[in-house]
Amino acid sequence: MTQAALDASPAAPARAAHHQHAQGTQRVLAAEAVSVSFGGVHALDGASVSLAPGRITGLVGPNGAGKSTLFNVLAGTLRPRRGTVRLAGADITRMPVHRRAHAGIARTFQLARELDSLSVLENLLLAAPRQPGDSLGQLLFRRAAVRRAEAAAIERALALLGRVRLTRLADQPAGALSGGQKKLLELCRALMLEPDIVLLDEPAAGVNPALIEELCQFILALRGEGKTFAIVEHNMDMVAALCDHVYVLAEGRVLTQGSFGEVTADTRVRQAYLGEP
Ligand code: ADP
Ligand code: MG
Q: Residues enclosing ligand 1, CB less than 6 A?
A: 38, 41, 43, 61, 63-69
Counting ligands in written order, which one lies closest to the CA of residue 73? Answer: 1
Counting ligands in written order, which one lies closest to the CA of residue 59? Answer: 1
Q: Where are the domains of the chain?
A: 3-114+180-274, 118-176
DSSP string, the chain: --HHHHHHSTTHHHHHHHHHHHTT----EEEEEEEEEETTEEEEEEEEEEE-TTSEEEEE-STTSSHHHHHHHHHTSS--SEEEEEETTEE-TT--HHHHHHTTEEE--PPPGGGTTSBHHHHHHHTSPPPS--SHHHHHHTHHHHHHHHHHHHHHHHHHHHHTT-GGGTTSBGGGS-HHHHHHHHHHHHHTT--SEEEEESTTTT--HHHHHHHHHHHHHHHHTT-EEEEE-S-HHHHHHH-SEEEEEETTEEEEEE-HHHHHT-HHHHHHHH---
- Predicted local confidence at residue 121, as pLDDT: 95
Minimal-distance CA residue to ligand 1 atom 14: 64
pLDDT in tens, 103-131: 999 998 877 777 889 999 999 998 887 65
Whether the per-residue pLDDT at 18 is higher than 50: the answer is no
Q: Ligand 1 pocket: which of 34, 38, 45 to mutate (most atoms <8 Å of CB)? A: 38
Whether the per-residue pLDDT at 2 is higher than 70: the answer is no
How many angstroms is it from 117 CA to the middle of ligand 2?
28
* Architecture label for domain 3-114+180-274: 3-Layer(aba) Sandwich (3.40)
Q: What is the pTM of this model?
A: 0.85
